[in-house]
Amino acid sequence: MNTYGHYIDGHYASPASGEYFSSVDPSTGRMLASVARGSPEDVHQAVAAARRAFESWRRSEPSERGRILSRVGARLLAEADELARTESSDTGFPLRDCQLVAKTVAARYFEYYGGLADKLGGETIPVPGNHLDYTLREPLGVVAEIIPWNSPLYDGSRSVAPALAAGNTIVLKPAEEAMLSMFRLAEILTEEGLPRGVFNVVTGYGPEAGAALAGHNEINAVCFTGSIETGSEVMKLAAGNVVPIMLELGGKSANIVFADADLDTAVMWAVLAIFTAAGQICTAGSRLLLHQKVHDEVLDKLVTRTRQLRVGPALDSLDLGPVISESQLGRVLNYIEIGKSEGATLVAGGTRLTEGALAEGYFVAPTVFDEVRNSMRIAQEEIFGPVLSVLTFGDEDEALDIANGTQYGLAAAVWTKNLRTAHHLARHLDVGSVYINRYYPSGIEAPAGGYKRSGFGRVDGVETLRHFTQLKNVVVNLD
């Protein structure tokens, strides 16, 4: 079992308080590592290191920044199996899913933004008179990145790589439930030539380390992924220093199946959309909207597939692992009871699993509720667990009313062979991403983000680089 300090200025540092806390394997309930408990003093040291490193890093050649990031991508690919084992034990996500993230997503972020680092330019603007007017894109400065526990390797890479490519320095605070892969990422960045202080990691609890970081007066921007409630508090802290913020705040995504869809394919993706990572994904398809003509057929196929799913410890690499923690287990089970009390019909799962190897972990049977009304809490609130709500609609307008009828607006999917229907819904769904005849993005190259209370700002693609810069206009009098 390892003990980790904070990673500040290119090396590990003991916490100022001398206090540590435990990282726990959700498959077994056992301690994985002892990790530094961050305080405002630790945060201040990390921000000071990032501030010292900023001037030289911002003035470094973009091509050299790109080479460093590309080398990091190659290292992540070479170490993908070991990183995946660390991530799987830490998060409870099945090993095969973590291997996929390490090999095709985390490494790809650094490759992609490494290639874009020297291609971020401004533009010339035609203006009246004899003037030359042009814009420059410059880094923001020291960026606070606060990432969630549901795949820190994924969420860390997607925010770290573009921020570094744009010339920013970073203080990253991972969630206290899962953070171990971020230590190895910090080591790899240093080993591949990233100057000391450009990337720093402070661990600890949100009200202590997270709040101190979001509200630090030397931070120039905040990037946060998590719940609406915490995101709102982070935004208030950032507002105190008048700094920009990017927020991704979860979802209650609608997966809409029309009568003319390829039903077998739609069912396959519906299962993946909600039960991948035990439903602990912001864009999880947690509301399945079925056209009334195919409701019974799709539900039968769905329940059959759901009952066939294998649940087990993360390293066994089955279909579902545990939820992240004992408190999250209690939250999910409470929502299942709420669903029953509201009158929804439980057609699969609905229990904690404790047999054999599952006894000490936080396992929930894949759960499906039918006859859900959109006014029910299980249809309105983000459960963040393996719980699917099935609703019925009669036409396009009703489908849109149901899909748009929540405070969230992160993603949605449409299943139909009718192009007019597909594009009509894509235009009128109040979400940042629409998937047609599939679920989840096809790659990291396209932007993603939220409408409504799912947040603002965009991740992935070239768009993210723009969010990690500030725009300067220059006008030259040529007379």
Beta strands in 230-321 (DSSP E): 245-248, 254-257, 287-291
**198-208 average pLDDT score:** 97
Q: Tell me the H-state helices in 240-361.
A: 263-275, 295-308, 326-342
Check if the beta carbon of residue 101 is closer than 8 Å to that of residue 178: no
At 88-129, the pLDDT tens digits run 999 999 999 999 999 999 999 999 999 999 999 999 999 999
The band of 87, judged by pLDDT with boundaries at 50, 70 and 90, is very high
- Does residue 468 sit within a domain? yes
- Does residue 26 sit within a domain? yes
**186-207 average pLDDT score:** 98
Same domain, 466 and 327: no
Share of the chain above pLDDT 90, in %: 99
Same domain, 150 and 200: yes
**230-234 average pLDDT score:** 96
Q: What is the helix (H) or strand (E) element at residue 81, kind and residue range?
A: helix 80-91
- Does residue 208 sit within a domain? yes
Query: What tokens were used for 270?
Result: 């519906």
At 309-345, the pLDDT tens digits run 999 999 999 999 999 999 999 999 999 999 999 999 9
Instruction: State how far the Cα of 248 lies from the Cα of 452, in Å rounded to an integer.
Output: 11
pLDDT given for residue 239 in this prediction: 96
At 247-277, the pLDDT tens digits run 999 999 999 999 999 999 999 999 999 999 9
**Side chain identity at 447, as an amino acid letter?**
P
- Does residue 189 sit within a domain? yes
Query: What tokens were used for 356?
Result: 């054999």
Instruction: State how far the Cα of 61 lies from the Cα of 178, in Å rounded to an integer.
Output: 34
Q: What is the CATH number of the domain that holds 21?
A: 3.40.605.10
Same domain, 148 and 180: yes
Same domain, 126 and 221: yes
Instruction: State how far the Cα of 413 lies from the Cα of 417, in Å rounded to an integer.
Output: 13
CB half-sphere exposure, 347, CA atoms < 13 A: 20
Q: Is 283 exposed, middle or buried (0-12, 13-18, 19+ CB in 10 A)?
A: buried
Instruction: State how far the Cα of 116 lies from the Cα of 364, in Å rounded to an integer.
Output: 42
Instruction: State how far the Cα of 204 lies from the Cα of 13, in Å rounded to an integer.
Output: 14
- Does residue 449 sit within a domain? no
Q: What is the CATH number of the domain that holds 315?
A: 3.40.309.10
Query: What tokens were used for 340?
Result: 């029953």
**Side chain identity at 282, as an amino acid letter?**
C
The band of 375, judged by pLDDT with boundaries at 50, 70 and 90, is very high
Same domain, 263 and 209: no
How long is the chain?
Answer: 479
Same domain, 417 and 459: no
Residue partners of 418: CB distance under 8 A and separation at least 6: 258, 260
433: which strand partners? 411
Same domain, 118 and 148: yes
**120-141 average pLDDT score:** 96
Q: Tell me the H-state helices in 310-413.
A: 326-342, 377-380, 396-403
* Helix 180-191 vs helix 152-165: crossing angle, to nearest 10: 30
- Does residue 465 sit within a domain? yes
Domain count, the chain: 2
Q: Reply yes or no on whether the pLDDT at 433 is more than 90.
A: yes
Q: Reply yes or no on whether the pLDDT at 442 is more than 90.
A: no
Catalytically active residues are 173, 248, 282, 382
Same domain, 172 and 277: no
Same domain, 203 and 340: no
Instruction: State how far the Cα of 167 lies from the Cα of 208, in Å rounded to an integer.
Output: 28
Same domain, 306 and 379: yes
Instruction: State how far the Cα of 99 lies from the Cα of 106, in Å rounded to an integer.
Output: 10
- Does residue 448 sit within a domain? no
Report how far apart the first and last C-alpha atoms of the chain are (Å, whole number).
70
Same domain, 206 and 353: no
Residue partners of 109: CB distance under 8 A and separation at least 6: 73, 157, 158, 160, 161, 162, 444
- Between the alpha carbon of residue 162 and those of residues 74, 388, 409, 419, 458, the distances in Å are 16, 34, 24, 35, 12
Same domain, 31 and 164: yes
> Which domain covers residue 387, as residue numbers?
254-443
Query: What tokens were used for 282?
Result: 């912001």
CB half-sphere exposure, 186, CA atoms < 13 A: 29
pLDDT given for residue 101 in this prediction: 94
Q: What's the whole-model pTM score?
A: 0.96
- Does residue 296 sit within a domain? yes
pLDDT given for residue 1 in this prediction: 73
